[in-house]
């Protein structure tokens, strides 16, 4: 029997104002308040209770699609979903619990690197924290150990996979063109750099240190994923299952990975199509719906694989044919915009944010060493402050402190950790993905930068704002009315701080 695995990567960038924690109205999402609300209404909610019609075309029953999909959810998205739509949030958790019972102890959910940064472009410390925070968030919500972690944009290099191996993860999901070569046991290496690797097999990637430790890679079926995501394969569940059968052609596995928003947001009624396909029609066609963990129990990896290195050896991803260049320079990949637009703004944006990150890291290490036994360990552990906002800050700081701290020193410690949280969120991948530096996704990462600068001033260790702005000034918007990245920052990022402070001052006077 052919097994099928459909993986959905459910994610939205964080949208909260860094000063207030509130998402402000986003007119582009009308008639909804913001994009999270709109996409919940079109995708996250409907997939939790998809209606399957009976033979008489009336509603027969409700299906939780998350029980049939392999999936990951962005930690920052789940942190929004939990208070805003608790029923959907619980359906996601319940689906994982039910799948554990149904699929040999293997849940459908996998973890996701916390802030959706492009891990190969992170420095070593940030890459580690992004992974550790993602794993900690998963354990907190799903109450179990994850078997895998979704790599944002499937962006990958050897250092990234080595980190996942060291974290004890079992498998990872990549695009077929991210493989360079493979070999069967006792065989010769075979080149598959054109994306021709057989996606019906799992492959073992060995740790670069020669220790023999490894992780399994599943390469998803590229043409089928494109059909689902971009070519209207979700028009008919019957046609989709026929396509799955043709793709399988007798193979033991067909696995697909797409953005989860494909099922309802990108493609209207995609949630209904996948519900009918996976719950009714695939089993009727002799296809076994499963997840990666269960499949790996049946079919352990025997072949070995090497990764493609990407342009400049920086790594590869699923959405940039140039490797990971989309998130640092004008590589030609873009989404939307006018025909004559360019993305030359990407490089100065990353350079400017790297400048802030590095300066903030130096200050964090210097000032943090005065209060923390190990500043970087304290940062890694500080995910618990985010996950349990009602927990005792004083107790957490006391556990991490090198000595008994005064009230002022406790405040400094928490401010330093908050600086680092904003430093990490500055690199949310969506800031570089779209067409212009004036877009809401890029403005959001600039808001994290503004918050970082604000916090540093409060600590009496100001970051190099002028140097930062000089670099941003080299990033020209494609829309003349917005000027440069420095103008966008002043108008939309710093202004958010000023507006927030004005409200706070007004409330203080009233009270």
CATH assignment at residue 104: 3.20.110.10
Give 336's pLDDT tier (boundaries 50, 70, 90): confident
Q: How far apart are CA 133 and CA 164, in angstroms?
A: 13
409: Cβ–Cβ under 8 A, 6 or more apart, which residues?
A: 370, 371, 401
Average pLDDT score over residue span 438-442: 96
CA-closest candidate to residue 92, choices 121, 123, 76, 69: 69
List pLDDT tens digits, range 158-195: 999 999 999 999 999 999 999 999 999 999 999 999 89
- Give the chain's radius of gyration (CA, Å): 23
Both 412 and 293 in one domain: the answer is no
What does the block give as tokens for 349?
A: 């944006």
Q: What percent of the chain has pLDDT over 70?
A: 96
What is the pLDDT at residue 410? 96
* Number of structural domains in the chain: 2
- Under a CB-based contact definition with an 8 Å cutoff, are residues 292 and 70 in contact? yes
Both 125 and 185 in one domain: the answer is yes
Both 125 and 176 in one domain: the answer is yes
Both 246 and 347 in one domain: the answer is no
41: Cβ–Cβ under 8 A, 6 or more apart, which residues?
A: 32
List pLDDT tens digits, range 280-303: 999 999 999 999 999 999 999 999
Average pLDDT score over residue span 120-126: 98
Cis peptide before 31 (omega within 30 of 0): yes
Give 504's pLDDT tier (boundaries 50, 70, 90): very low
Tokens 């319940």: give the residue.
94
What is the pLDDT at residue 511? 36
Both 343 and 448 in one domain: the answer is yes
At residue 9, does pLDDT exceed 80? yes
At residue 369, does pLDDT exceed 70? yes
What does the block give as tokens for 381?
A: 């552990």
Q: How far apart are CA 405 and CA 411, in angstroms?
A: 10
What is the pLDDT at residue 233? 95
What is the pLDDT at residue 323? 97
Average pLDDT score over residue span 139-148: 98
- Under a CB-based contact definition with an 8 Å cutoff, are residues 362 and 375 in contact? no
At residue 510, does pLDDT exceed 50? no
Q: Specify the pairing of strand 109-112 against strand 70-73.
A: parallel
Stated pTM of the model? 0.95
At residue 309, does pLDDT exceed 90? yes
Q: Which domain holds residue 417?
A: 332-510
- Under a CB-based contact definition with an 8 Å cutoff, are residues 227 and 221 in contact? no
Both 373 and 454 in one domain: the answer is yes
In a domain, 88, yes or no: yes
- Residues composing the chain: 511
Cα 371 to Cα 217, 455, 461: the distances in Å are 42, 17, 15
Both 279 and 348 in one domain: the answer is no
Give 334's pLDDT tier (boundaries 50, 70, 90): confident
Question: Mean pLDDT, the chain, as a whole number?
Answer: 95
């Amino acid at each position: 029997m052919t097994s099928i695995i459909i993986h959905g990567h459910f994610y939205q960038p964080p949208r909260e104002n860094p000063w207030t924690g509130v998402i402000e109205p986003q007119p582009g999402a009308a008639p909804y308040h913001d994009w999270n609300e709109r996409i919940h209404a079109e995708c996250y909610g409907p997939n939790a209770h998809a209606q399957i019609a009976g033979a008489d075309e009336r509603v027969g029953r409700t299906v939780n699609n998350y029980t049939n999909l392999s999936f990951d959810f962005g930690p920052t998205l789940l942190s929004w979903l939990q208070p805003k739509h608790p029923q959907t949030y619980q359906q996601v958790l319940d689906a994982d619990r039910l799948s554990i019972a149904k699929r040999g102890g293997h849940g459908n959910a996998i973890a996701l690197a916390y802030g959706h940064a492009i891990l190969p472009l992170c420095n070593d410390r940030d890459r580690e924290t992004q992974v550790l925070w993602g794993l900690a968030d998963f354990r907190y919500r799903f109450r179990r150990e994850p078997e895998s972690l979704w790599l944002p944009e499937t962006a990958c290099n050897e250092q990234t996979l080595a980190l996942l191996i060291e974290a004890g993860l079992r498998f990872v999901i990549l695009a077929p063109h991210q493989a360079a070569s493979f070999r069967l046991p006792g065989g010769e290496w075979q080149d598959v750099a054109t994306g021709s690797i057989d996606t019906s097999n799992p492959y073992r990637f060995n740790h670069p240190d020669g220790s023999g430790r490894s992780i399994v890679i599943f390469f998803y079926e590229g043409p089928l994923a494109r059909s689902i995501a971009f070519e209207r394969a979700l028009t008919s569940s019957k046609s989709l299952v026929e396509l799955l059968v043709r793709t399988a052609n007798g193979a033991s596995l067909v696995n697909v990975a797409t953005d989860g928003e494909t099922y309802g947001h990108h493609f209207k009624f995609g949630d209904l199509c996948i519900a009918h396909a996976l719950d009714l029609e695939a089993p009727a066609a002799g296809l076994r719906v499963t997840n990666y963990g269960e499949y790996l129990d049946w079919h352990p990896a025997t072949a070995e694989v090497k990764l493609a290195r990407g342009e400049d050896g920086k790594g590869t991803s699923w959405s940039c044919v140039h490797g990971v260049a989309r998130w640092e320079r004008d590589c030609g990949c873009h989404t939307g915009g006018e025909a004559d637009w360019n993305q030359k703004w990407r490089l100065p944006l990353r350079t400017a944010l790297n400048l802030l990150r590095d300066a903030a890291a130096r200050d964090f290490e210097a000032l943090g060493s005065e209060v923390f036994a190990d500043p970087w360990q304290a940062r890694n552990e500080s995910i618990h402050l985010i996950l349990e906002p009602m927990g005792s800050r004083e107790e957490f700081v006391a556990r991490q402190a090198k000595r008994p701290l005064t009230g002022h020193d406790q405040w400094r410690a928490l401010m330093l950790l908050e600086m680092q949280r904003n430093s990490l969120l500055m690199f949310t991948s969506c800031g570089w993905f779209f067409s212009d530096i004036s877009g809401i996704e890029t403005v959001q990462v600039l808001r994290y930068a503004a918050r970082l600068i604000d916090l540093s001033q409060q600590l009496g260790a100001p970051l190099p704002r002028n140097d930062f702005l000089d670099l941003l000034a080299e990033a020209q918007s494609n829309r003349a009315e917005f000027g440069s990245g420095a103008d966008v920052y002043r108008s939309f990022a710093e202004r958010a701080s000023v507006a927030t402070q004005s409200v706070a001052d007004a409330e203080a006077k009233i009270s």
